[in-house]
Structure 1
Amino acid sequence: MSGESTTRTAPGGRAAQRISGIAVALGLVLFLGGFAWGAVVYRPYTVPTGSMVPTIKIGDRVLAQRVDGDEVRRGDVVVFKDSSWANAPMVKRVVAVGGDTVACCQKGKLKVNGKVIEEPYLPSGTPAEIMDFPTVTVPDGRLFLLGDERDNSVDSTAHLTDAARGTVARAAVSARVDAVVWPMDGMLARPTGFEALGPLSSPGPLRTVVALVIAGMVLVLGGAAYGSLAKRAAAARAARTRTKEPAGAR
Structure 2
Amino acid sequence: MDTEAEHTERDRSSGSPTGTEERSRSARSPGDPADSPGDPAEAAPARRLPGLSWRGAGLLGLGCAVTVLLVSAFVVQPFLIPSGSMEPTLRVGDRVLVNKVAYRFDAEPERGDVVVFDGTGSFVQEPPRENPVTGLLHGAAAALGLAEPAETDFVKRVIGVGGDRVVCCDKGGRVEVNGRAVDERYLHPGDAPSRVPFDIVVPQGTLWVMGDHRSDSRDSRDHLGEPGGGMVPVDRVIGRADWIGWPPGRWSGADRTGAFRDVRTPDGAHG
1:46 aligns with 2:83: no
Checking the alignment, whether the CA contact within 8 Å between 1:76 and 1:93 is kept in structure 2 is yes
Checking the alignment, whether the CA contact within 8 Å between 1:136 and 1:165 is kept in structure 2 is no
Match in the other structure for 1:78: 115
Percent identity between matched residues is: 37
Whole-angstrom CA distance in 2 between matches of 1:192 and 1:148: 15
Whole-angstrom CA distance in 2 between matches of 1:38 and 1:167: 29
Letter in 2 for 1:154: R
User: 4+ residue stretches of structure 1 with deviation over 4 A?
Assistant: 35-40
- Report the alpha carbon displacement of residue 111 of structure 1 after superposing the two structures with TM: 0.8
Match in the other structure for 1:90: 154
- Report the alpha carbon displacement of residue 180 of structure 1 after superposing the two structures with TM: 1.3
Gaps of 5+ in 1: 1-31, 201-250
Letter in 1 for 2:252: G
The aligned runs of 1:27-176 (5 Å cut-off) are: 41-66=75-100, 67-68=102-103, 70-84=107-121, 85-86=123-124, 87=127, 88-106=152-170, 107-133=172-198, 135-176=199-240
- Bigger CA radius of gyration: 2
Checking the alignment, whether the CA contact within 8 Å between 1:102 and 1:110 is kept in structure 2 is yes
- Find the residue that maps to 2:221 and give its secondary structure: helix
Aligned length: 166
Whole-angstrom CA distance in 2 between matches of 1:82 and 1:139: 17
Checking the alignment, whether the CA contact within 8 Å between 1:64 and 1:79 is kept in structure 2 is yes
Whole-angstrom CA distance in 1 between matches of 2:211 and 2:223: 13
Match in the other structure for 1:197: 263
How high is the TM-score relative to the length of structure 2?
0.56
CA RMSD for the aligned pairs?
2.4
- Report the alpha carbon displacement of residue 130 of structure 1 after superposing the two structures with TM: 2.1
Q: Identify the structure with bigger relative contact order (alpha carbons < 8 Å, sequence gap 6+).
A: 1
Residues 38 and 108 of structure 1: is their aligned pair in 2 closer, same or farther, counting only changes over 3 Å? Answer: farther
How high is the TM-score relative to the length of structure 1?
0.61
Kindly indicate which of the two structures has a greater share of residues assigned to helix. 1
Checking the alignment, whether the CA contact within 8 Å between 1:81 and 1:89 is kept in structure 2 is yes
- Report the alpha carbon displacement of residue 38 of structure 1 after superposing the two structures with TM: 7.1
- Report the alpha carbon displacement of residue 129 of structure 1 after superposing the two structures with TM: 1.1
